[in-house]
Structure 1
Amino acid sequence: MTARWVLHLDMDAFFAAAEQLTRPTLRERPVLVGGLGPRAVVAGASYQARAFGARSAMPMGQARRLCPHAVVLPARFTLYKELSSRVMAILADASPVLEPVSIDEAFLEPPALAGASPQEVERFGTRLRADVRAATGLPASVGAGSGKQLAKIASELAKPDGLRVIAPEEERAVLDPLPVRSLWGVGPVAEAGLRKLGVHTIGQLAAMDLREVHGLLGTAIGTELHRLARGIDERPVAPRGAAKQVSAETTFDTDLTAMTAVHDAVARMTEAAHRRLVAAGRAARTVTVKVRSADFTTSSRSETSTVASADLATLTAVAQRLARAAVPEGGVRLIGVSLAGLTDDPPPALFEPAAAEPAAEPAAGPVEPAEQSTPRADDRSAERPWRPGDDVTHPEYGHGWVQGAGHGRVTVRFETRSTGPGKARTLRADDPDLSRADPLGSLA
């Protein structure tokens, strides 16, 4: 039987690495990417920050306590998507069989590696990593094995910025000592059940009688996990289908108590989801609003039309109407809006018209959008026109980013990927020569 080789490429600390790449002053410094509010979470952490225990999905407050000297920046998805597109283009050239998993990782199964030796796979992986770095300037880790599970484990073992090829004869030596949680499909519940039986490692799971595994995990899941534990993984590498929905949500720093503030937040979330809808060239039939109250009770309301719409005003009106029914007693902690029932080539037909919503008053506290979208020019307020991390440009000093602002002044570090560490300059906050800039300008 011809040896099968699956590769998994994972960009190392992608969001933080992109910030360090385009803002050279931050290279080798701890960086946290995510929201700036008290309820925000970490979207990305550099390896320098991880050394102090900070990590992705951790509450930002906790991460900042662990690493108080970290630089905290809002996410710039425009930048990350551009870098991701360059990575995926390299992978597509390397293999026609490609399965993107997220913005920063993908599986590939190059036909040229069918039956190849581990040494040939290693040379292929080395070239692939070099091509990604040449196209993006960023490090990537690559793992290779006989299936997706082993390739994923190999890339984790290769981090940071490395390559690991698991040859068939060493699969058991690599898999057996790993914790069972390393397997796809083993969550906290399954892990707790296996621990009760004294099963802590993948090797111990592989040695179990299949009937015992079925009794604990069920026939379907138990059979799949038992096969993965023994290194049997025949799942194909295949392109993923189009997204079934687009969504956006916000957790507020201060609970919303006014309905007008809720309407305003719903409008912003609908607009964020709508941008993704339009970018994909699609329309939506279903609008869903999710609301989480101050006591963490979650409720949702949905409405489906017979025709799809890509009209922002119509979708917003539907979402605001649904919000009135979803909002509970007391304050609102979180609001999310999702658009589903997606179709291609949006028709002109819209949802049935709804009454216009009243003008919304400002939300009760600063809002951190979950999608971390880049601020638009009209986001500037008289009270605080700049926030740390904003991209700016100046006719004399060029492209830069805001390090801090207050008391009518703003400190900007003028630098890009190619300039090396730049000089910090303090300007008047209302300097007419200072304007917001496209984040992609920092790639220059």
Structure 2
Amino acid sequence: MTSPEIRKIIHLDMDAFYASVEQRDDPALRGRPLAVGGTRERGVVMAASYEARQYGVRSAMPASTARRLCPELLFVPPRFEVYKEVSGQIREIFAEYTPLIEPVALDEAYLDVTHNLQHEPLASKIAQAIRAQILARTQLTASAGVSYNKFLAKLASDFRKPNGQYVIPPGRGLAFVEALAVGQFHGIGPVTAARLNQLGIFTGADLRQQPEALLTQHFGKAGRYYYAIARAEDHRPVQADRLRKSVGAETTFAQDLHELPDLLAALLPVVAKVWAYCARTGESGRTVTLKVKYADFQQITRSRTLPAPVPNQRELERHGHELLAALLPLPKGVRLVGISLANLGVGEAPNPSGQLTLF
């Protein structure tokens, strides 16, 4: 019986894509702290240059917070048609090497180069060639991660940012994962990392020591995913032209909330995060779903399907508020709220005029 073929996966991630395009096209912006978006009083940062990131400015951050962190921060409005055009140029480069391209967003994709069009046996050489072509054709830099599965390739691409690449070869995945803090794992956000820390799990090595039953007890289906990635296992294939069906975000509160005004305020950054994805990809959806988890961990969802995709962030916020208000009076405290959009890519793309209007 032959062993399964070891895959060769590349994760390509453009460096500060939107901000880098703006700096490329306007020399006056180069070397300066820059944010794309946030052009209104209650706007949101969609992308930040590396100069701005040094001050702690991050995407999905309220513009007011970004200004406090970096008073010299420059804001520019997004130009989605330009970003899509550049993304198309990059996609053409990918297609010269493999048809197995799984876009994650305009600035990010997985490539399976196990059997590639250039007949190059070394995936690291392909990654170098792609990055060189991207620089030559677009004057933009990209980072790459190379490994034998998607999870490790994603981790590797973050390891040498910006404008670098890193390889995690077969036989080294487990050692690489063991040394990482759980908060560095793709798929484990700050809230989950804090919960893992409360359980005494701080590193990949700690996570690997936990029984799968314990992880599923605390994290449900996600526990099985954590159990696998602690062992550097990820069997997901690169899916060419994969269509994402939904996008969502949620937040867990340090203390249970009981009043509608507090819940409405807590929903603001959650909606902003969802709409940041819509703005980045040019997609929207027709089905809005509110998720609420009560203090006793009882979970409910409420949805509404619209005749057309949600056109802007303000409308997504309105639907979220109405779904939340329909739950009154609250039977008990709330520990988590989330919002999601489904039926993505149906009808018109999001209205750019509404993309950065935060409530």
TM-score by length of 1: 0.56
Among 9, 24, 28, the alignment partner of 1:25 is 28
Matched to 1:92, the amino acid is: A
Pick closer, same or farther for the CA change 1:370–1:14 going to 2, 3 Å.
farther
CA separation in 2, counterparts of 1:11 and 1:97?
A: 18
Matched to 1:6, the amino acid is: I
CA separation in 2, counterparts of 1:372 and 1:146?
A: 38
CA separation in 2, counterparts of 1:303 and 1:161?
A: 42
Among 203, 206, 209, the alignment partner of 2:205 is 203
2:34 and 2:51 in contact (8 A); partners too: yes
SS for the counterpart of 1:112 is coil
Pick closer, same or farther for the CA change 1:341–1:161 going to 2, 3 Å.
closer
CA separation in 1, counterparts of 2:78 and 2:344?
A: 28
- Equivalent pairs counted in the alignment come to 290
Of 233-242 and 146-155, the range deviating more from structure 2: 233-242
> Is 2:239 the partner of 1:238?
yes
CA separation in 2, counterparts of 1:58 and 1:304?
A: 28
SS for the counterpart of 1:173 is helix
2:244 and 2:344 in contact (8 A); partners too: no
- The aligned residue for residue 293 of structure 1 is none
CA separation in 2, counterparts of 1:104 and 1:32?
A: 16
Give 1:224-303 correspondences, 5 Å limit: 224-242=225-243, 302=304
CA separation in 1, counterparts of 2:240 and 2:77?
A: 31
> Is 2:29 the partner of 1:4?
no
Query: In the TM superposition, what is the alpha-carbon distance from 1:70 to its structure 2 partner?
Result: 2.4
Identity rate, percent: 35
SS for the counterpart of 2:40 is coil
Higher-Rg structure is 1
Query: In the TM superposition, what is the alpha-carbon distance from 1:304 to its structure 2 partner?
Result: 5.7
Matched to 2:199, the amino acid is: L
Structure 1: unaligned runs, 5 residues or longer: 247-268, 291-299, 329-335, 345-367, 374-444
What's the CA shift string for 1:307-353, capped at 9, x where partnerless?
A: xx89xxxx9xxx9xx99x9598xxxxxxx9x8959779xxxxxxxxx
- The aligned residue for residue 19 of structure 2 is 16
2:102 and 2:242 in contact (8 A); partners too: no
Matched to 2:6, the amino acid is: A
CA separation in 2, counterparts of 1:77 and 1:341?
A: 18
SS for the counterpart of 1:111 is coil
Among 152, 158, 167, the alignment partner of 2:169 is 167
- The aligned residue for residue 132 of structure 1 is 134
Pick closer, same or farther for the CA change 1:125–1:243 going to 2, 3 Å.
closer
- The aligned residue for residue 252 of structure 1 is none
CA separation in 1, counterparts of 2:215 and 2:287?
A: 41
Among 94, 97, 102, the alignment partner of 2:100 is 97
Query: In the TM superposition, what is the alpha-carbon distance from 1:27 to its structure 2 partner?
Result: 1.5
- The aligned residue for residue 333 of structure 2 is none
Among 40, 43, 67, the alignment partner of 1:37 is 40
Query: In the TM superposition, what is the alpha-carbon distance from 1:240 to its structure 2 partner?
Result: 4.4
SS for the counterpart of 1:52 is coil
> Is 2:91 the partner of 1:107?
no
Matched to 1:180, the amino acid is: V
What's the CA shift string for 1:165-207, capped at 9, x where partnerless?
A: 1112322332112121233443445333322221111121012
2:57 and 2:70 in contact (8 A); partners too: yes
Q: Name whichever structure is richer in strand by fraction.
A: 1
CA separation in 2, counterparts of 1:287 and 1:77?
A: 24
CA separation in 2, counterparts of 1:207 and 1:213?
A: 11
CA separation in 2, counterparts of 1:166 and 1:303?
A: 44
1:113 and 1:121 in contact (8 A); partners too: no
CA separation in 2, counterparts of 1:92 and 1:40?
A: 36
Structure 2: unaligned runs, 5 residues or longer: 248-274, 291-301, 326-338
SS for the counterpart of 1:94 is coil
CA separation in 2, counterparts of 1:225 and 1:79?
A: 38
Pick closer, same or farther for the CA change 1:82–1:226 going to 2, 3 Å.
same
Matched to 1:221, the amino acid is: A
CA separation in 2, counterparts of 1:134 and 1:372?
A: 32
> Is 2:355 the partner of 1:371?
yes
1:8 and 1:143 in contact (8 A); partners too: yes
1:183 and 1:229 in contact (8 A); partners too: no
- The aligned residue for residue 224 of structure 2 is 223
Pick closer, same or farther for the CA change 1:92–1:326 going to 2, 3 Å.
same
1:5 and 1:113 in contact (8 A); partners too: no
1:77 and 1:372 in contact (8 A); partners too: no
Pick closer, same or farther for the CA change 1:38–1:215 going to 2, 3 Å.
same
Among 116, 122, 125, the alignment partner of 2:124 is 122
TM-score by length of 2: 0.68
Pick closer, same or farther for the CA change 1:31–1:192 going to 2, 3 Å.
closer
Query: In the TM superposition, what is the alpha-carbon distance from 1:158 to its structure 2 partner?
Result: 1.7
SS for the counterpart of 1:38 is coil
CA separation in 2, counterparts of 1:73 and 1:111?
A: 40
